[in-house]
Structure formats: structure tokens, C-alpha cells
Structure 1
């Protein structure tokens, strides 16, 4: 029973050190080198604890379950980790002297580790059940190699044989349990990420489904207003809009992007329609100092310009000016700003508009805020004062976003 207690003590150390940290780093990429280094160190520390608190069969014969962190570290950490951990085992065992136990350790590792390293790549690509089978066979092979080497060097002993069988049985059972738990954790993380990605894709699809009819509805209303007084101008604008939509509105894929240049063309097309309606009441200024080929989410500026014109400027008779700014800022960021000198709003109304749960018609600011939050984890900023106007600002990375849902 003392031997069993010693094994359980070693197991508790392994479980605490390895699984606690794996859960802590659960959301990190499996290719993150820092995480791999930390886990490798912990596998080494687990081996150190196992070898420092062995189960003594007698004064000259002791057993530990170092194979569990050694095999886990090799199978999940890769060949380099396996070689380092094996070297660590040999160096630490040499600290106790070049006795039979040292030679048993060296010979066991020499026979078993090449086979384990050969199967490591197959293990990394295998499904859960295949991984369990490979881990069981590799652990059994290591234990068998250790049993044979020990019998050759020490001589076969019926007295110690039952203890060795218990040791092998515990090693196999615990290793299978640990790998099963590890794969279950990874599977849960993978499914959780997939659900998050699907939810994000569905949310963005919903927002886009609002944007296209929203823009078309308002643009066609503007054209309709010209049909009676300026039918020729309305016809020209209708043809321009049709041509632009045919060449630019290709948003069938959820992961589609557009360039800053295309987004500004859409903005100018919309402004041309609105200027035909409002005339000199509407003035527009552009301040563009960024690479126009940078990829951005489509329809992310035009709704802001539409808000600025319809709710900021045209709420009074004199109209006003909309300033559109696109600038490359520091740290590989593109800063967008849409500013008007219209009616503005107080702080309470501003906060109300930005709340996603606000139940109002239209998409505007709430939509842009939600899309940027979903895609980049950032928020828009809005500065406004009654009678002075409103400025909406947001920053996005100057690089393509990751493919949504992939």
C-alpha cells in the first residue's frame, strides 16, 4: 500500500503541473513557442518530482512513473522535447551514481525512445482513438523494455515481479486517462472556437443583410426625388448607380473584403446622388493619406457618411460640410473619421445610439460599431456637441482581417 501511495503522490504532482497550465493556456495557439517552452519545462519538472519521490521496493530497487510526463512531453511537444527530456532523465539519474539503476535507465531509453520518436508525427496527426491506441502500445513497449533490461541486469525475481506488474498497469491506465482528458479538453476548445466563429459569421451576415437594402432604399429615394423636376439627372444617376452596383457589390462571401479605394468610390457615388438632391446645401471635404489598396470590410464608411448627411446636416435648412478622413497612423493602423458641422447631440443621446440593444430603425452607428467589435475587438469613438456637429472615429489594422469562419 505504501508503494501505491507513492505512485498516487507522483500522479497528483503531474496532474497539477501539467493540466492546470494546459487549461490556463487553453486559448493559446498550439504553435505558440512560448507555450510549448513552458509546457516542456513543466514536463521536465514533473519528471524531476517523480524521480525525487520514487516508490521504494527495497533499498536498491525503486520505481517511479517518469514515463508519463516523458511520453506526454514527447508526443505533444515533438521530437526535440523528447530528446531534451530523455537527456534530462539520464543526467538527473547520474546524480545518484552509476549503479544498476542508472544503466537500466540508459538502456531502457536507448531501446524505447527511437521508436517513440518515430511514432510522434503519426500521433500528432491521428484522431483521438488512434492516439489512445498508439500511446497504450508505446507505453507498453517502454515498460516491457524496462522490465527486460532490469531482468537482464538484476536478474529475474518473483518477489519483485508483482510490484512491477502493478507499476506497468498503473502507468498504462494513467497515461490513457491523461491523454483522454487532454484530447477532450482540446476537442472542447476546438468546438467552442467553431461555435464562436459561426456566431460571429451569422452576426456579420445579419448586419450585411441590413446594409445593402438600407443603402439601396435611401439611394433610390434620392433618385425618386429628382424624377419630377430633373428627370434627365435622375436617369443619369440611376445608370451610374446600376453600373457601380454591378461592378462593386460582390459580397456573397462572408470573408469578402474591399479596398479603401473601392469604399471611397461607393462614398462618392452616394454623395453624388445626395448632392443632386440637396445641391449647395451639401459640401464634402476629403483628407486621404493612406494606401488605397489596403483591405477593409466593405460598407464601413458609407453608412457613417449617410448618417452625417441625413441626421447631422440636413436637419437644418443651411446644410453644412462633411469631412471624410482616412490616414495611416502609427503601429500599422489606418484611422478613419467622418465629421460634420451639423446639429450634434448631447452625451445622453450619443450613448443611447451606441448601445447595441437600442430598438430603432436603421443601422448606422450601431451597425458599424458591432461590425468593428466583431472583426477587430475594437470600438468606435464618437465626439459630439449640440449645435457644433459630430465626429465618428475608428481605427483598424492596416492589413487583411482573418477569414471569418475559418
Structure 2
């Protein structure tokens, strides 16, 4: 009964950091680096608790699950959290005495940590099922390496290897369970964020459809009267004031057009179109603007890139993203546009610039209502672009680094 209680205690040490992080930290801490530091500390405390209260078999045999916090901390945190947790294991293990178990711990960590770090990048970019498989395989590998070296150090006898074999099976099963749990919690958290965002966008969409037309009518009348007042014999100062008023009304009209585009619940008139042809059209349309901004566009477009979409709306989305890329380079530069097909059935459009870049927080806010990095921007253009891509059952990924540039990756379902 005592052994079962110790096993349950080990499982509790795994659950506490998971629920603490996803219940309290993700909602309250906005900065990704701070979240990663807190998560690493939580896994570190879990490691210390697991090592402090192991499952004891007889007099010398000890079983604990420090491998699971180490693996999860490294896979979800990255290289430095992995190094920190490994160093913590070694330093805390010294307090139990330097013996064969200590040497085995050091050897296993030296061999396992590079393996975990190696798979960390592919883990971060993989889908949910593959992430679970990677975590389970790494846990199995860690325990197998420990079992092998313990056999080398102590001898391959039943007496010494029974507990490590139990540890291998138990750790592998528990890793699978907790990997599934973490991925399920992450998925629910992501869905909740998307639902909150969708609800905000739905409300804005309904309001804009109602009010945009009512605002546009008096604006058109105002613009007409201003044009009538703009007579040739007016003083230059008054002509300047009228011209500024007309320009501001035109700018307000553009914002209303964005509102109306966003307020449309769906995009009809879809057809089979060639992405390569549409990209080339967009480049030709925006060519004069790039020349004025001292920006050069380079394209690499593959053949047979077909999707089902509305060409005008797709062009609108691409032009918005391209304009942002060009405007992010006040001193000029290069914009690359590539179009390829992926193995999982998508057309991949990449728009990359050499602009000022964005922080992680700015990337997360991109496409949100009224969020713009430009002084005179409303954020509606990018918001509409995101909505258009989603309406084609596509998705947008944004990678950026401050001072280096930004890469937009647009994935759209491919058709033959």
C-alpha cells in the first residue's frame, strides 16, 4: 500500500506544474520569455520533489520520475531550460552521495540531453500525435540508456535490473499519459483563445455592416460640396484646406471600405485559380509603389499551384501584406515571394522582407482589430487579410525578428 501511495505522489508532482502553468500563468503572464522561465522553475521544483520522495523498493532500490519533467521542460522550453534542469538533477543528486547511481545519472544525462535537444525543434513544429510519440520515445530512450549503463556498472543480474525495468515501463506509460494531457490542455486553451477572438470579430463585423453605410452617405455629400467650393479664384490657403479635407475624407472612405470587407460573413464567387498568375498580377499592380519606396521584389513561383478561391479577394489580401512588407523598410530593401506545394496538400506562399521586424507580442496581436504598427494605420487591412485567408480554409503563420525582418507564410488547400 505504501508503494502505491508513493507512486501516486510521484504522479502528483507531475500534475502540479502542468495545472499551475495552464491555470494561472498562461492567462496572467503576457511575455513568452517570462512564461518559459516560470515553466522551467515549476519543472525544476517537480524534479526536486520527485527525487526527494522516491518510490522505495526494499533497502537500496529507488524509483522516481525526474526524467518526465526533464523531457517536458526541454521539449516545450528549449535548449537552456534543458541545460538548467540537467544541472539541477546532477547538483541535487550529489546531496545523496557520490556512488554508482550518481555516475550513472551523469552518464545518462550526457548521452540523453543532446538527443532530447536534437528532437526539440521537430517536436515544436510537429502535430499533436507526433509530439506525443516523440516524448514517449525520448522517455523510453532515456530509461533504456540508464538501464544499459546500470547493467554495465553493476552487472546484468536480475537483482539489479528488476527496478530499472519497472522504471522504464512505468516512465514510458506515464510520459504517454501526461503528454496526451498537456496536448489536450494546450488544444483547449488555444480553442478558447480563438473563440474569444472570433466572438470579438463577429460583434465588430455585425456593427460595421450596420453603421458603415450610414456613415458613408453624409461623407459623400460633404465631399461633393467641398469640391463645389473649390473654385479657381479662391485664396491658396483655402484651397489647401479644402484639399486636406478631401484627402481626409478619402482616407476615411478607405477605412469604411475595409470595415465593409470585414463585415461580410462570407466570400462567394470562388473559382479554380492559379496562385502563380495571381501573385504575378499583384506584383505588377504594386510595382510602381515599390519603385517609389526603393524596394525590389523577387519571385520564385512553381507551376501547378492551383487553389479554389475568389481572385479579387486573394489579391486584396496579398496586396495588404505586401504593402506592409514594403512600408516596414523605410530605407528600401528586398522582398521575396515564393510559391510552392507541400507534401501535406497545401500551397505555400512565403512573403519575406528585410524590414524592422516585430517582437513576439506584436506578432500575437497582428490581425487583431485596431492594432497597427503604423502611426496612421487602423489595423483593418491586416485584419481583413487574415479573414480572407481563413475564408479560403487557409492559415497564416508569421515569423519575425526585431531588426532583421518578417516572414509571412500563407497555407492554402491545394486542388488539382
Please report how far the alpha carbon of residue 200 of structure 1 lies from its aligned counterpart in structure 2 after TM superposition: 1.8
* 1:49 equivalenced with 2:43 (yes/no): no
Return the TM-score normalized by structure 2. 0.55
CA 1:174–1:255: 2 relative to 1, 3 Å: farther
Q: How far 1:109 sits from its partner (Å)?
A: 0.8
Give 3-state SS (helix, strand or coil) of 2:254's partner.
coil
Instruction: Find out whether 1:182 has 2:182 as its counterpart.
Output: yes
Alignment of 1:5-154 (within 5 A): 5-27=5-27, 32-154=32-154
Aligned-pair distance for 1:89?
Answer: 0.5
Structure 1 pair 121–242 and aligned structure 2 pair: CA distance change class (3 A): same
Q: Deviations over 1:117-170 (max 9, x none)?
A: 111111111111110111111111001001001111111232354433332222
1:250 aligns with 2:254: yes
SS across alignment from 1:65: coil
For 1:3 and 1:401, how far apart are their aligned partners in 2?
62
Local SS of the residue matching 2:158: coil
Query: What is the CA-CA distance between 1:16 and the residue it aligns to?
Result: 1.7
Aligned match of 1:279: none
Judged with a 3 Å threshold, the aligned counterparts in structure 2 of structure 1 residues 399 and 10 are, in CA distance, closer, same or farther, namely farther
The 5 Å alignment of 1:360-371 reads none
Structure 2's unaligned 5+ residue stretches are: 232-241, 263-367, 387-416
Cα drift, residue 105 of structure 1: 0.5
Aligned length: 263
Q: In terms of mean alpha carbon deviation, does 47-56 or 161-170 score higher?
A: 161-170
CA contact (8 A) 1:43 1:69 kept: yes
**Is 2:208 aligned against 1:208?**
yes
Query: In 1, Cα distance between the equivalents of 2:226 and 2:72?
Result: 72
Distance in 2 between residues matched to 1:192 and 1:53, nearest whole Å: 36
Q: Aligned residue for 1:195? A: 195
Q: Distance in 2 between matches of 1:62 and 1:244?
A: 75
- Say whether 1:236 aligns with 2:228: yes
SS in 2 for 1:26: helix
Contact kept, 8 Å, 1:201 with 1:404, in 2: the verdict is: no
RMSD of the TM alignment (CA)?
Answer: 3.6
| Alpha-carbon distance change, 176 to 237 in structure 1, aligned in 2, over 3 angstroms | farther
Report the TM-score, using the length of structure 1 for normalisation.
0.57
